[in-house]
Chains A and B, each alone.
Chain A
Amino acid sequence: MNQTISIQNVSKSFGKKVVLKDINFEIMEGRIYGFIGPSGAGKTTLVKMIVGMDVPDQGSIYLLGEKMPNLNMLQQIGYMAQSDALYKELTGKENLMFFASLYHLNKLERKSRIEYAAKLVNLTADLNKKVSAYSGGMRRRLSLAIALIQNPKVLILDEPTVGIDPELRLSIWNELLRLKNEEGKTIIVTTHVMDEADKCDYISMVREGSLIATGTPDQLKEKYKAHNLDEVFLAAGRLINENSSAY
């Protein structure tokens, strides 16, 4: 199994606020990784640095062997931001076409990828509607389709299922699992929905800029003697609090 992403001694602060503290992490090919943690824990900053939109203050990040940020590597990353970054005046199809034409794809590939991505998120029938007429869930789905448009090796999804109904959430997760199993894609998901975290191969709990616990869901449950991830999260958090109050 190959290593896809390597995060080495990464720290980042905005002004005086330390957002990430000395993060070390390896991400293997063909696995789903979940970063869980409360809002403001530093998940999005970490994810943005993997994409190369931000640069660490210290340490470095390698993606497929290349040091980030690197423009050419962006062809290999499908990114879905936390907020839907869509052109509302345009139709769903026009949005897909626009983003598709930013990547190295020939005409035929572009067409088939648009069809594939739209079908995947169940938007084929609504492609010719303007995005301004889309519901919140539809916009989220279109964002996911855009993240998949260039058939990237790595998918980075920042809270992908917020505002999506349970049925669609299930189908999206099934598709993520299929992408992992059949196409060997590496997938990074941030979430604060614990039952989603259960579907990840590995989870890392992020709290106040540190990874407080990492492992498979079962390992974590065993380690903290918990029945579910909610309890793990609380237990791990308590441990941190006790340690810091001990100083």
Chain B
Amino acid sequence: MRTLALIKRILLQIVRDKRTLALLFIAPLLILTLMNLVFNGKTVKPILGIENGSQQLIESFKEVDIVAQEYVDISDIEHAISKYNLDGFLQIDGTETTLTLLNEDPTVAKSLEMKVKQVISKEVQFKLTGTNQSNDHIQTNYIYGSSDTKIFDTFSPILVGFFVFFFVFLISGIGLLNERTTGTLERLMATPIRRGEIVAAYLIGYGLLAFLQTVIVVLFSINVLDIILVGSFWNVILINVIVAIVALSLGILLSSFASSEFQMVQFIPLVIVPQIFFSGIFSIEGMADWLQVLAKLMPLYYAADALKGVMYKGATLSEISNDLYILLAFAVVFIILNLFALKRYRKL
């Protein structure tokens, strides 16, 4: 009953606050759309300058999506690269072959270097055997996704979880913080309400908002942005609701260590940003052992694993159940700590 009254009040406050509503429901869509556009941009063909290359060689370059431009009598390669806006320059002088790379963007440079080496070695092979019958016709199969898989497909599930975590953390934390700073929390403690009822109301009230947010974000991602969803839609919602509960309980817990909204925002670089590093956007396997241990202390690590499992790999509920249990354990710990943190206001 009292919990219900508190939930009603929390929702009413949020509905009155149009900007917070927009932050909850529109900001994630905006950022997802933007990231989708940024990551799905077309790859630009690298431009390679060539001196003394055969016609055959230039044809081969075209096949592997390199724009090859011929130049003669280039003495200053560095100058030529900057003058003609090239990504690299290949100089063939008899048996001596020199490749100069601009290396402004390491990814472009690496892929160009690899392709050039491939083409040249094929050339050499051709000269030796006189045939062009290389066995490069390899059939490729994909376990997850397809040849059309874009990088955004693999980390959009992580982003969905991240948004839920981030916005719910911030808004619920600031919500309870406002109760502290305006004195209403203390005032509440002069009523017969129990500490558990306050925590429950915050969890349910903001949990409802998080549920709505998740539904909107997931529906938008799938239908408008065409992000792949192999597994069940409801599993995605379930994961995100659990993520929201973790974020909520962490948010309201940390709000007791903040004395102003600004101090609450200061938790973002401490609590939110490190979680991005360990959420799987960057490969965790390649990290040092102690860092991998650290990753396992981050709620978002499990959230990302479960979300990527369901959305990209089509995992079933039983396959992600371990992740969910660990997330729930995080939530339980935070909730218990919250009950203790509220003791500051009333011993009962």
Contact = CB atoms under 8 A, between A and B. Distances in A.
B183 interface: yes
Contacts of B2: 101-102
Interface in A39-57: 51-55
A94 B190 CA distance: 18
Contacts of A90: 9, 12-13, 16
Given A98-B5, A99-B191, A69 B346 contact: yes
Interface in B1-44: 1-2, 4-6, 8-9, 12-13, 16-17
Given A53-B186, A75-B192, A87 B9 contact: yes
A71 interface: yes
Given A53-B186, A84-B183, A103 B191 contact: yes
28 contacts: A52-B347, A53-B189, A53-B190, A53-B346, A70-B348, A71-B192, A71-B194, A74-B190, A75-B192, A77-B190, A83-B183, A85-B182, A85-B186, A87-B13, A87-B184, A89-B12, A89-B13, A89-B16, A90-B13, A98-B6, A98-B9, A101-B2, A101-B4, A102-B192, A102-B193, A104-B192, A130-B16, A146-B187
Nearest to A82: B183
B271 interface: no
A142 to B, nearest CB: 12
Given A81-B187, A86-B182, A52 B348 contact: yes
Contacts of A102: 2, 5, 188, 191-193
B345 interface: yes
Given A53-B345, A54-B347, A101-B4, 16 more contacts: A51-B190, A53-B346, A69-B346, A71-B192, A79-B187, A81-B183, A83-B182, A87-B13, A89-B12, A89-B13, A89-B17, A90-B13, A99-B191, A101-B2, A102-B2, A102-B188
B184 A85 contact: yes
Residue of B9, B12, B182, B345 with highest tally of chain A CB at under 10 A: B9
Nearest to A94: B12
Interface in A56-101: 69-72, 74-75, 77, 79, 81, 83-90, 94, 98-99, 101
Nearest to B8: A98
Interface string A123-164: 000000010000000000000001000000000000000000
Given A90-B16, A94-B12, A85 B1 contact: no
Report the interface size class on chain B.
Answer: 20 to 34
Nearest to A73: B192
Contact of A103 (B12, B17, B187, B192): B192
Interface of B: 1-2, 4-6, 8-9, 12-13, 16-17, 182-184, 186-194, 345-348
Contacts of B184: 85-87
Contacts of A51: 190
Contacts of B347: 52, 54-55, 69
Nearest to A101: B5
Report the interface size class on chain A.
Answer: 20 to 34
Residue of B8, B188, B191, B193 with highest tally of chain A CB at under 10 A: B191
A71 B196 CA distance: 13
B265 to A, nearest CB: 20
A162 B297 CA distance: 50
A55 B189 CA distance: 13
A81 to B, nearest CB: 6
Contacts of A99: 191
Contacts of A98: 5-6, 8-9
Contacts of B1: 101
Q: Which 5 A-B pairs have the closest CB atoms?
A: A85-B187, A101-B5, A85-B183, A79-B190, A89-B16
A99 B346 CA distance: 18
Contacts of A87: 9, 13, 182, 184
Contacts of B4: 101
Contacts of B182: 83, 85-88
A72 B8 CA distance: 23
B11 to A, nearest CB: 11
